Chain A
Amino acid sequence: MNDLIHLAWQGFKQKSKLTTLMVANLVIGITLLLTMSTIISQSGHSALSHKLEQLHHVSLNFMDAEFDRRHALRTPPMTYRDAQALTLAYKQGDIDLEGLSFSYTTSFVLDVADKSARPLDATSSAVDRAFFSMMQTPFIYGNVWDESMHDAAVIVLDKKANDHLFAGQNSVGNLVVINNQQLAVVGVIDLSNHTYRFQNISFSNRENDLAFVPLGYATNHNLPRVGYMPCMTKEESSRTGYRQYNMSGLKTAECGFIHTWAEVSPTQSEEQLGNLTLWLRNYTQQQNDQGRFTHTEPYYLQSLKLLHDTIYDFMDWERVYLNFAYLLFAITLVNTVGILLAKNQHRAKLVSLYRALGANRAYIIKIQVLELLISATLAILLGVVGAQLGLYVMYLLALYQMDYVGVAEQVQKLYSMDLFFALKAAGAIYLTILVAGLFPIIKASRIAPASQLRG
């Protein structure tokens, strides 16, 4: 094998200008292909990829009959009273589910009691206890609050907030301050694997939750409602008040702010979804008698997969770029074949000499395949480096498009190469280059040696 590698290396070095041209040509194609396919792959990646068909966003469409939802990510969250009705039905056993979770998007300034760190403007969520198990948020320290603490002054921090406020130390038991109220840290989770803020179906890649407080505490202490909060036309004028301070008014208002997630069992999903759908249909029909739910689509039950697919549908430009990348890669492969043919034409005499000296056709093919693999390896390595640069440029462009308001770390996740994906892509590229190179290689092995060795 060493001798074979030695001969292949000799072949690689011959006609160095053609070899350089071939590698450079492949590097350009691989760079573009890896850059765009990484972005598309990361965009399609879900932190809960194994639960895409199990988690469903539940919505009761209380909006006006003429409300135009536009797309799945603008589905109205639930009103307070509809969420209460669903909770009651779930508790009474009218609905059979693996789990049900309610949350709303909020925001506050996080401070530490001893002022040892700068206050942090934290995009957050008010959630119930079930949220953590359903979303499988990995705890680094501590755990979720107890069942009895649904309205207690406790908080779960994300790693980023914990790093900022407590220098990454175990902060469980420490106190943080929100609106002059002290809350005890009960756990720290790491959401670095969550590319999107999907829990409020915004699918924002700019920022994610930095803290989670109990839903009961948030409503009792009137933590603001931020994010998408549609109201019926008649409530529009009061919306600012509902967002900021008027919690009691919001509880009876036709304004949606509570995101509801239902988890079904993988083995009984059809049955459980049917059961939930039936309840939603009955509930909206019953409420319709009271003049509510006049919209033609009174409820929505959307899987996490469907929501991810919606995001993918939005990536028109990226997909166009990816198609261009495939096209360019195909062109580079055609160029590679051309360059290999040219190189082999120049080396016909050498191949003939090898044949005269006793190399059989299979040996010639082995040498040239190995030589091609050396070129492909070099091109792929340089292509990976090129793709890293390409991803960095795309990341800077994305930040620029967001007017630099996104959290850099969060945005960068979409533009980071996943090692497993890179290995898979490299393997596929190897195979493609090899297949493309077979024609010139086999052609070279069939040279009639006698014709080349005269004179």
Chain B
Amino acid sequence: MLKMNNISKIYRTDLVETHALSGVNLTIEEGEFIAVTGPSGSGKTTFLNITGLLETFEEGQYILDGEDVSQLQDKHLSRLRNEKIGFIFQGFNLISDLNLYDNIEVPLIFRGLSKQTRKQRIEESLELVGLGSRAQHYPAQLSGGQQQRVAIARALAGKPRFLLADEPTGNLDTMMARQVMELLQEINRQGTTLIMVTHDNELAQRAHRNIQILDGQLSDIAKSQLTDLAV
């Protein structure tokens, strides 16, 4: 359902060319839980941004759900992002001026769903993350873990095929991080493909499959190797 063939991404300045990704080949099947690890600056986030259609690439082919996205225009890419992909960011990226209900409603508005459908989806997703009673609260009134759950609810409300999480527990304490991870695993068990970038090997071990990015090169690694890498 997601296939990358020989994807390369180069950042250019006047003086230097940086190869963020070089010849990435990857296939991800529906329902997988992939953990992407690697040292800082290795190209993890670039990989996630390209996967989430937030960045373009110079070379290669990217097929998402049977559709070659390489040549698509902004309008089409935005629609795919809205309908098929859900984002979870390390810093939550909730809109502080909006309450939880309105925060979750934003991507549904972009999709053009009716008010009634939106209401139903928002209530369902808030219930799923255990914040059903707090729809009218504002992000500032919640703990970090709760805010990340709202971000997950926002991603889930659109019923995406892929959930892309960039260090989803990076800003959380251990207990909250565990709760958020359990929630993500549960969502994955229900069928949503989960691709998570993390530095944390313990979290990475929860994934079905581990991918390591090193100097822009991507490779599958066995779970047993994760501990060694951490050392």
Contacts and interface: CB of A to CB of B under 8 A. Distances in A.
B78 A359 contact: yes
B74 A361 contact: yes
Nearest to A11: B97
A359 B77 CA distance: 10
B74 to A, nearest CB: 5
Contacts of A362: 75
B78 A454 contact: no
A361 B81 CA distance: 13
Interface in A329-357: 349-350, 353-357
Interface string A418-455: 00000000000000000000000000000011100111
Q: Is the interface of A mostly helix, strand, loop or mixed?
A: helix
Contact of A357 (B45, B87, B90, B166): B87
Interface stretch (B48-56, B139-147, B217-225): B48-56
A354 B87 contact: no
A245 interface: no
Contacts, number: 71
Interface residues of B, number: 29
Contacts of A360: 74-75, 77-79
Contacts of A13: 97
Given A356-B87, A363-B110, A450 B55 contact: yes
Interface in B76-118: 77-79, 81-83, 87, 89-91, 93, 95, 97-98, 106-107, 109-111
Contacts of A349: 93
Q: Is the interface of B mostly helix, strand, loop or mixed?
A: helix
Nearest to A364: B78
B95 A350 contact: yes
A450 B197 CA distance: 15
Nearest to B102: A10
Interface of B: 45, 49, 52, 54-55, 74-75, 77-79, 81-83, 87, 89-91, 93, 95, 97-98, 106-107, 109-111, 154, 158, 166
Given A359-B110, A363-B110, A450-B49, 7 more contacts: A10-B95, A354-B106, A355-B78, A358-B111, A360-B78, A454-B45, A454-B91
27 contacts: A3-B109, A7-B109, A10-B95, A14-B97, A353-B95, A354-B106, A356-B54, A356-B87, A356-B93, A357-B81, A357-B110, A357-B154, A358-B78, A358-B81, A358-B107, A359-B82, A360-B74, A360-B79, A361-B75, A363-B110, A450-B45, A450-B49, A450-B54, A453-B54, A454-B45, A454-B90, A455-B91
